[in-house]
């Protein structure tokens, strides 16, 4: 793994390893933590469900496994900071300089959050919010120490794809991925998929945690200083269309002639309709072959293409198109923001062919 910080642990796999398997194994799955990884005992762990519910609940892992129908979903988890390094090249941004590996695709198994909310008698009122409190202590500059917490709108919380997951690819969650219980919110930024989940609260307002209130907001480009007016930021939930070249690597030396390009594309909630690749910085394009899983709408799409490269320097580029006929912005400059989120411009990789 490429470790951006050992404590708290933040690490991503090299892109060629990420692209080697359609389902990302737990050891190859990026890790994003804000604090220490808590050591929790599945046998004694309890989940509390409260707030504006008719029937507050306290559930053991055994209760979750036996009292609710089991559900699995193949889904991408992606950090809002994925590909932040490219924004950093435009102008300095906050946060770890993730390359394109702060993303993974796993088969998550657990129970539907909606089933647990219904068992607690939560009102199905779309103006409400479902807040998650976790077991890890985190520290943010200027915010002090607090427990990690986030929330999602009730309408998403009731969607069938949103899980309280205890397993990843058929095995118990590893400690760093949220053992024994985490939320998985397909299509949303990874930050909403709370790990080490301790409590769920149904409430009128979003979580008052600094993670919800201040972090993970998309700021307008004129906010460049340290005095950030958070009310001007948009809460990041849905993730944008994105694609990356995983192979060859940036600055690779390749043999002149036919060169295989491989990567991923992801369109949360919409399908990937087409992936274009270019060997000349985006003047001429060809279409890549797609490897879809039609049974897994929240999963990513793998793509590959073979381009003929003459000896010399080349700028390889990829851009995806979604089922609404939309594509990605051309340059990272167009989407620069102070916190370095939602970096999803055409992905460019310079290589040298000999
Ligand atoms: N409790 C808790 N949940 C958390 C986090 C965290 O630090 N603490 N990080 C979030 C962020 S920003 C992301 S991108 C995903 C990463 O999940 P992973 O480490 O399993 O890939 O977890 C989310 N859930
Ligand atoms: Mo994240």
What's the pLDDT tens digit per position in 28-57?
A: 999 999 999 999 999 999 999 999 999 999
Query: Which CATH number fits the domain that encloses residue 63?
Result: 3.90.420.10
Q: Which of 188, 218, 235 is the last residue of a domain?
A: 235
Task: Tell me the HSE value of 130 on the side-chain side, using a 13 A CA sphere.
Answer: 33
Same domain, 214 and 286: no
- Same domain for 157 and 106, yes or no, is yes
pLDDT given for residue 227 in this prediction: 73
Q: Tell me phi and psi for residue 84, to 5 degrees.
A: -60, -30
Asked if residue 161 has pLDDT above 80, the reply is yes
Percent of the chain scoring above 90 in pLDDT: 93
Same-domain status, 176 and 323:
no
- Tell me: do 252 and 220 sit in the same domain: no
Question: In terms of domains, do 261 and 213 share one?
Answer: no
Q: Are residues 337 and 265 in the same domain?
A: yes
pLDDT of residue 124: 86
- Could you tell me if 108 and 255 lie in one domain? no
Q: What is the pLDDT of residue 133?
A: 98
Q: Do 211 and 248 belong together in one domain? A: no
* DSSP string computed for 129-158: EEEEEEEEEEEETTTEEEEEEEEEEHHHHT
Q: Which among 33, 35, 39 is the best mutation to test ligand 1's pocket, defined by most ligand atoms within 8 Å of the CB?
A: 33
Quick check: 162 and 156 in contact, CB under 8 A? yes
Q: 324 exposed, middle or buried (CB, 10 Å; 0-12, 13-18, 19+)?
A: exposed
What tokens appear for 132 in the block? 């998650």
Considering the domain architecture, whether residues 210 and 275 belong to the same structural domain is answered as no
Residue ending a domain, among 185, 206, 235, is 235
Report residue 189 as tokens. 């930024």
Q: Is the domain of 246 the same as that of 185? A: no
Measure the CA dihedral 26/187/297/99, to 10°: -50
Assign residue 248 the CATH number of its domain.
Answer: 2.60.40.650
What's the mean per-residue pLDDT of the chain? 96
In this prediction, residue 302 carries a pLDDT of 98
Look at the chain and report how many structural domains it folds into: 2
Residue from 149, 195, 343 to probe ligand 1 pocket by mutation (most atoms less than 8 Å from CB): 195
Same domain, 231 and 251: no
Q: Is the CB of 216 under 6 A from ligand 1?
A: no
Question: What burial letters (b/e) apply to 268-292, b meaning 16+ CB within 10 Å?
Answer: beeebbbbbbbbeebeebeebebee
Domain span at residue 341? 242-353
How many whole angstroms separate alpha carbon 280 and alpha carbon 115?
51
Over residues 50-104, the pLDDT tens digits come to 999 999 999 999 999 999 999 999 999 999 999 999 999 999 999 999 999 999 9
pLDDT digits (tens, 9 = 90+) for 220-235: 999 887 777 888 899 9
Last residue of a domain, one of 195, 218, 235: 235
pLDDT tens, residue by residue, 97-134: 999 999 999 999 999 999 999 999 999 899 999 999 99
């Amino acid at each position: 793994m490429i470790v951006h910080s050992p404590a708290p642990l933040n690490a991503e796999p090299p892109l060629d390893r990420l692209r080697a398997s359609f389902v990302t194994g737990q050891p190859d799955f990026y890790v994003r933590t804000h604090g220490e990884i808590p050591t929790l005992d599945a046998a004694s762990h309890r989940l509390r469900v409260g707030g504006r519910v008719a029937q507050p609940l306290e559930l053991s892992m055994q209760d979750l496994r036996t009292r609710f129908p089991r559900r699995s979903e193949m889904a991408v988890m992606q950090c809002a900071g994925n590909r932040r390094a490219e924004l950093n090249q435009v102008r300095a941004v906050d946060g770890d300089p993730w390359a394109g590996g702060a993303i993974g695709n796993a088969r998550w198994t657990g129970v539907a959050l909606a089933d647990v909310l219904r068992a607690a008698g939560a009102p199905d009122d779309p103006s409400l919010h479902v807040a998650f409190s976790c077991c890890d202590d985190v520290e943010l500059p200027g915010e002090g120490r607090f427990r990690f917490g986030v929330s999602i709108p009730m309408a998403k919380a009731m969607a069938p794809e949103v899980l309280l997951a205890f397993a990843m690819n058929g095995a118990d969650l590893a400690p760093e991925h949220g053992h024994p219980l985490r939320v998985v919110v397909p299509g949303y930024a990874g930050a909403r998929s709370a790990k080490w989940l301790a409590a769920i609260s149904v409430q009128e307002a979003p979580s008052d945690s600094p993670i919800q209130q201040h972090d993970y907001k998309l700021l307008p480009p004129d906010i460049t200083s340290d005095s950030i007016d958070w009310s001007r930021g948009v809460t990041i939930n849905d993730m944008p269309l994105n694609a990356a070249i995983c192979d060859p690597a940036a600055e690779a030396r390749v043999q002149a002639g036919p060169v295989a390009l491989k990567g991923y594309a992801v369109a949360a909630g919409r399908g990937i309709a087409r992936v274009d690749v270019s060997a000349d910085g985006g003047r001429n394009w060809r279409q890549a072959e797609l490897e879809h899983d039609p049974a897994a709408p929240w999963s990513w799409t793998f793509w590959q293409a073979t381009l003929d490269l003459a000896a010399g320097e080349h700028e390889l580029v990829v851009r995806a198109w979604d089922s609404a006929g939309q594509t990605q912005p051309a340059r990272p400059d167009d989407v620069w923001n102070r916190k370095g989120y939602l970096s999803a411009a055409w992905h460019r990789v310079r290589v040298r062919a000999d």
